[in-house]
Amino acid sequence: MALGDDMVWRATAAGFSKSNLTSDKWSILDECFGGCQDASRHFRQFMDRQQRQDEPAADYLDELRYLALRPLPSLSVAVRKEMICARFSPGLQDRDLQLQLLRFLVQRVSEALTVAQRFEDAAKSTTNPTLFTIHDRRRPVSRGRGDSFHATEPIK
């Protein structure tokens, strides 16, 4: 693989030459181009990050925000948020939540977090549901609603 003119210029400007010792050459090259490897590794961590079992969506999103900042700190905030939003849904453990985010066409990180938290709250409430009965229309239950057909009362 041939080096581009810009790469050769950067290495030469950093002091790379044929007369350098091998260890010096490697340290100069690492100084010039080591950041590229770090950026690649950090980007891979961001792309590979999946929500862990029993990890709340908010914690997963916070971790994605942190990982998105590492590869290219100079990246614009708008582009970074777009990357996070695009990565958030595919990394979720809950397939139903993924579909919910697609259904709402979430395009901002804050919207994604709101939908995810509401979905998680609803899932928690269904794991310990309160049983309800629908009363007969002939025996309305007064709960402040004029519609007696849909009046409900918890079973005790």
**How would DSSP label each residue in 26-42?**
HHHHHHHHHHHHHHHHH
Domain boundaries, the chain: 22-128
Nearest 5°: the CA angle 60, 63, 66 is 155
- Provide the 3-class DSSP secondary structure of residue 17: coil
pLDDT at 101: 79
* CB neighbour list of residue 29: distance below 8 Å, 6 or more residues apart: 11, 16
153 bridge partner residues: 133
Select 22-128's CATH number: 1.10.1200, 2.60.40, 1.10.3470, 1.10.10: 1.10.1200
Rounded-to-integer distance, Cα 82 and Cα 76, Å: 10
Q: What is the pLDDT along the chain (156 residues), one digit of tens a residue?
A: 455 566 555 666 666 665 655 666 566 666 656 556 677 888 888 899 999 998 988 999 999 999 988 877 777 888 888 888 888 889 988 888 888 878 877 778 888 888 888 888 887 777 655 544 444 444 555 555 554 444 455 555
pTM: 0.56
